[in-house]
Structure formats: C-alpha cells, structure tokens
Structure 1
Amino acid sequence: MLTRRVCGGVRNALPVSSVAITASRPFSSFAAAQGPARAPALADITHDGAPKFNERQKEFRESLVNAQKQKEQQEKDARAREAQEGGKKKGALSSLIYGTPEGRELDKDIERSFSQVLARGKYVHSIVFHEVKPDKVDEYVELVGQWYPKMASMPEHKVHLVGSWRAEVGACDTFVHIWEYQRYQGYHASLNAIQHHPDFPEFDRKLKKLIHSKRTSLMQEFSFWPTTPPRHLGGLFELRSYTLHPGNLLEWETHWRRGLKARREVMEGVGAWFVQIGELNTVHHLWQFADLEERKIRREQSWGIEGWGETVHKTVPLIQQMKSSILIPCPWSPVA
C-alpha cells in the first residue's frame, strides 16, 4: 500500500485510467448501477480473478510511484527557480508545497496534541454501520445508491465518499460507509448542508424504514497509513476491527508503523483509522484481496517477511477484542 498524498497535489499529477481514478483531490462519486437495484454479494467474486487483480494492483501502485516522482521533480524545478529569483517568500515552491491560501490557513493552526502525534490531522473520517432488514436490502441499495453519490458530488457539501460496502461474512446485511471531511469544521459543514437539502427529509424517512440500527464513529487516519485514493482493483475487502485496552494506542501505532512495511509487500491496504469519538479505543484496518483464497495466501506470506512476527507478538497483548468482516463493494463505491 502506497501513500495517497505525497504533498497535497500528488493526485493531480496522476494519469486518469480505467483502473485507478486518482486525477483530483476529491473522491470520485460513481453513479449507481443501471437497471434493477441488487445488493452486492460474495457470490459475485469469481475464484479465478487473482491475475486481473494483480495486474490492476501493479498499475495502481506504479501510477502512485510515478506521481510521486513527478511531484518531486516539480518541487526541484520550483526550488531552482526560487533560487534564481532570490528566494522570494511567496515563490513557486511555496505555492506548490503549501497549496492555496485556504489550505495554508487550514494547516497552520493544527495543534500539537496526542492525536496529532498519531494522525495526519487534516482529515476526519466517519465510519457508518447500517444494519439493514434482510428483506429490505435491495431497497436500501437503490435508495442509498442514488443519495450518497449525489451528496458526494456536490462541492458545497465538503465531503468525499471513500467507499461503501456490504458485509457478507461477519455481521451479514450490515452496510459500511467511510466518509472523509476537512477536519471537524468540514464535518459540521457537511452535516449542516446535507440536512438542509430539500430532499433530505424524504430520504431520511425512507432510510429509517429499511434499517434496524445505525452506528457512527469519527476517526482519524494513522500518519503512516494515508487512506487510498479511488481505485477499481476488483475482488473483496476485509475490515479488521480491534478494541484495545485503554492507554495502548500510541504503543499500537509504534509497532504497526514497523509491521506495515512487511505487510505492504504482499497485501493491498486501503487505510487504517483510530476512533476519537464513538467506539473509543477502536482501530479499523481495511484490506483488499482478489478473493478469499488469495487472502489466505497473502496472510501466510507475510509471516515469512522480517518484522511481521515481532509486530504480532507485541500487539496481541494490547487487544481486548478483535473482529473480522468480509465486505463486498457497492456499485457506487469509489474504492472497489
């Protein structure tokens, strides 16, 4: 798993392809599938999809590496121009690295706190669990598949949809959605804008008839593991959720920072987040695999890489409880 944002504008340098949709900062919002709504299912995953998955994964990773090289070259060129111009305070390099005035204003007041040691700070993510009534699953897919992409596509809502998935192993008929906001200000602004949309009361009324319950937590991504940009690699996802003993988050981050170097050699990560409001002391890791057999193979391979065994040995005592769910992406999910 490679870094999503090298400096703020890496994605802007990426080529658009049918495999990795990474051309701009906002997450792409995919329209719901045409035709009758149908919930995604594990049966949609074929047993022979690993070669295509690996090909798409290779192209996706190479596109990120190339984007990083382009960004570094742009910074080098800008630095040279500033040197020639006498190092003006607001030269090309400053604009390139620090972005727009709004972006600089957003970053400059980030406080050095415990969470900032762990997190990247600029982004807040929400993870939403909808427990859907079994006989209402397809209605839910149709309703949410129209509403979520519509809300994410409106710039004034200041929100990006990372992805939407249906759990097929674990808490079945539970749908998982991850959203990204520009810090907590963006979260408040997004909620306010969406709930004042003229169609929201009708959507909310219909949604409440389709679900048993809703759970939401607000999270931040670990600084060493930025959330992936939009991509379509295929396959399935595994959400691993860990409830830690209170006070152990910093130690968890230290060990996982080292362990991820081993894991990323054989497995494709989507992101890692720790909950700040909601189900406290919880960490979520999201991985992507071609199929269940490839998941088994990749996990076994990681044990042969130096550093992974030590990570497991040191993190297991920190855990109170752990859960694993196999997820299938919804038709509109930007990460799929």
Structure 2
Amino acid sequence: MTAERRRALLNTNPFNAGDIVTALEMDSYAPFPFLPPIRTGDRGGVYEFRTYRLKPGGLPPTLAGWEAAIEPARAYTEHLVVNMYALDGAPRITHIWGFASLEERAELRSSAYGAGVWPPKGGPDQIAEATSTIALPQGPFPLA
C-alpha cells in the first residue's frame, strides 16, 4: 500500500489518464473482520456510499454494535456490500449498500428502524459527522 501511494504521488501521470485526473486523494481501509468477503453479482441499480466520521475511541463500540446487529437486521443488512474502517486519517467507517431502488432502500430502513433492529445499538452515539452519497452506475459496474 505504501509503495503504491508513493508511486502515485511521484508520478506525473499516475493512472495514465492525462488531464482527466484533476485531483488525487487516497484513503486506506480494512473490512470489518466479521463480515463475509465482498461478493459480486446483481446488487440492484442504486448504491449508497455512507461515511461516518467517528468520535475518538468510537471504533471499538461501533464494531461491537455492528457485529451484534448484522443477523437480527438480516432483511436490511443483506443489502450491505461492504463496511470498512479507516486505517489513516480521522477515525471513520465507510459502508456501501446496494438496492434495486430508492424506494426499496427507504422501505427496508423504515422496517428495520421500526422493528428496533437498526441502527446498531450504541452506533449513533459514536458518530461525529455523517455523509451519504447515492450512486447510479452508468454502464458496467463490478458489483452489479
């Protein structure tokens, strides 16, 4: 990882994309250790990328809460593509979800919240800031 970062930083054209690349930002993550490996295949046409910047010391209780909540919230969490924690920078987690539609996302979240199985217990207490991005792939997408 360090070698690849160095290569990109010291290269005048790091990805052979010429003037198309106007900025470069690199973040390092590790997957939550209790989640299965990422599986490819049809995950729907709507992806949500959500990042939570955590309070200092917030990662251990976040991991514990997620591990306890995954199975009880299965109808919702089966749409989880991956959840990762940052290895550098501010303490944070980023997770990616795949849904057939925004309506499906809203219905599943509402059901999980209503049943009290989501969000993970204690999770929201650890969040300092949250961002969410909805992505609609254009053309082939390795997760779809």
Determine if the TM-score, normalized by the shorter chain, exceeds 0.5. Answer: yes
User: How far apart are the structure 1 equivalents of 2:31 and 2:15?
Assistant: 33
Residue 290 (1) aligns with residue 100 (2): yes
Instruction: Report how far residue 191 of structure 1 moved.
Output: 7.4
Measure, in 1, the Cα distance between the counterparts of 2:95 and 2:133.
11
Partner residue in 2 for 1:271: 82
Q: For the Cα contact (< 8 Å) 1:255–1:315, is it kept in 2?
A: yes
SS in 2 for 1:256: helix
Q: Deviations over 1:32-90 (max 9, x none)?
A: xxxxxxxxxxxxxxxxxxxxxxxxxxxxxxxxxxxxxxxxxxxxxxxxxxxxxxxxxxx
Gap regions ≥5 residues in structure 1: 1-183
Q: How many Å apart are 1:248 and its aligned residue? A: 1.5
Shift in alpha-carbon separation, 1:275–1:190, aligned structure 2, 3 A: closer
Shift of residue 303, structure 1, vs aligned partner: 2.2
Q: 1:330 to 1:307 in 2, by over 3 A?
A: same
Tell me what 1:188 maps to. Answer: 3
Give per-residue Cα distances to partners, 1:93-115, cap 9 Å, x unaligned: xxxxxxxxxxxxxxxxxxxxxxx
RMSD: 2.8
Distance 1:191 1:308, change over 3 A: same
Which residue of 1 is the match for residue 43 of structure 2? 233
Deviation at 1:237, TM superposition (A): 0.6
Pair 1:334 & 2:142 matched: yes
Per-residue deviation, 1:308: 2.9
Q: 2:128 aligns with which of 312, 320, 323?
A: 320
In the TM superposition, residue 253 of structure 1 has moved relative to its aligned partner by: 0.3
Question: How many angstroms apart in 2 are the aligned matches of 1:276 and 1:326?
Answer: 24
- State whether residues 235 and 290 of structure 1, in contact with CA within 8 Å, keep that contact through their aligned partners in structure 2: yes
Q: Structure 1 stretches (4+) deviating beyond 2 angstroms?
A: 187-192, 200-208, 262-267, 303-309, 329-333
Matched residue of 2:24: which SS?
Answer: strand
- Alignment partner of 2:25: what SS? strand
Give the aligned length.
Answer: 141
**Residue of structure 2 equivalent to 1:206:** 19
The gaps in structure 2 that reach 5 residues or longer are none
What letter corresponds to residue 297 of structure 1 in structure 2?
E
Q: Given that residues 73 and 117 in structure 2 are in contact (C-alpha distance below 8 angstroms), is that contact kept between their aligned partners in structure 1?
A: no
Higher relative contact order (CA 8 A, sep 6+): 2
Q: Distance in 2 between matches of 1:204 and 1:224?
A: 37
More helix by share: 1
Residue identity over aligned pairs, in percent, reads 24
> For residues 163-188 of structure 1, what are the alpha-carbon distances to aligned partners after superposition, in whole Å with 9 as ceiling and x for unaligned?
xxxxxxxxxxxxxxxxxxxxx4xx63
Shift of 1:264: 2.6
Residue 58 of structure 2: aligned partner: 248
1:272 deviates by 0.3
Q: Secondary structure at the match of 2:34?
A: coil
How far, CA to CA, are the matches of 2:66 and 2:82 in structure 1? 13
How far is the alpha carbon of 1:285 from its aligned partner?
A: 1.1
Contact 2:44 2:101 (8 Å CA) reproduced: no
